[in-house]
């Protein structure tokens, strides 16, 4: 099997940051062998979040998701490594913490009484195209030309 080095955007959402889980998320990312290229703690504005979640505009969960993501600090991270997009999504687990397997971030750390679609600790890019677009939004200086 050939090595495919990729980059992805990982977000520790406001619930993860508020619960002090950023370090545990980063520990798991690094333990998996991925490299951290950039990290910044910030509270995103509505404009950034509307661009980030543009594909979900008009869906019932869009507004609550944007409001939640703007509600507090988010740890934004660019990570790289062999098949990091697929690998991090596997590491994150299913979107719904109740359905997420033990050993995954959401399975171990997610709380079932939180709103599963929004308050599920982390976000990870779902494709090469999404990763490039998302990294350019959150880290313009780190985007590849």
Q: pLDDT tens, 16-31?
A: 999 999 999 999 999 9
Could you tell me if residue 72 is inside a domain? yes
Tens digit of pLDDT for each residue in 88-136?
Answer: 999 999 988 888 999 999 999 998 765 556 789 999 999 999 999 999 9
Q: Please count the other Cβ atoms lying within 10 Å of the Cβ belonging to residue 19.
A: 13
Could you tell me if residue 145 is inside a domain? no
Q: Please count the other Cβ atoms lying within 10 Å of the Cβ belonging to residue 59.
A: 11
What local confidence, expressed as pLDDT, does residue 119 receive? 86
Could you tell me if residue 60 is inside a domain? yes
Structural domain of 93: 5-140
Could you tell me if residue 24 is inside a domain? yes
CATH of residue 13's domain is 3.30.70.141
- 123 counts as catalytic: yes
Could you tell me if residue 55 is inside a domain? yes
- Report whether pLDDT(145) > 50: no
Total domains in the chain come to 1
Question: pTM score > 0.85 for this model?
Answer: yes
Could you tell me if residue 48 is inside a domain? yes
Could you tell me if residue 94 is inside a domain? yes
């Amino acid at each position: 099997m050939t090595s495919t080095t990729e980059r992805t955007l990982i977000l520790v959402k406001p619930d993860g940051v508020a619960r002090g889980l950023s370090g545990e998320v980063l520990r798991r990312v690094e333990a998996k062998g991925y490299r951290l290229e950039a990290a910044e703690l910030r509270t995103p504005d509505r404009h950034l979040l509307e661009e980030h979640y543009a594909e979900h505009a008009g869906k019932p969960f869009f507004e609550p998701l944007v409001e939640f993501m703007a509600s507090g600090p988010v740890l934004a991270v660019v990570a790289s490594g062999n098949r990091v997009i697929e690998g991090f999504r596997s590491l994150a687990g299913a979107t719904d913490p109740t359905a997420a397997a033990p050993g995954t971030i959401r399975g171990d750390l997610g709380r079932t009484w939180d709103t599963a679609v929004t308050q599920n600790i982390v976000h990870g890019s779902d494709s090469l195209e999404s990763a490039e677009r998302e990294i350019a939004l959150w880290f313009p200086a780190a985007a590849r030309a």
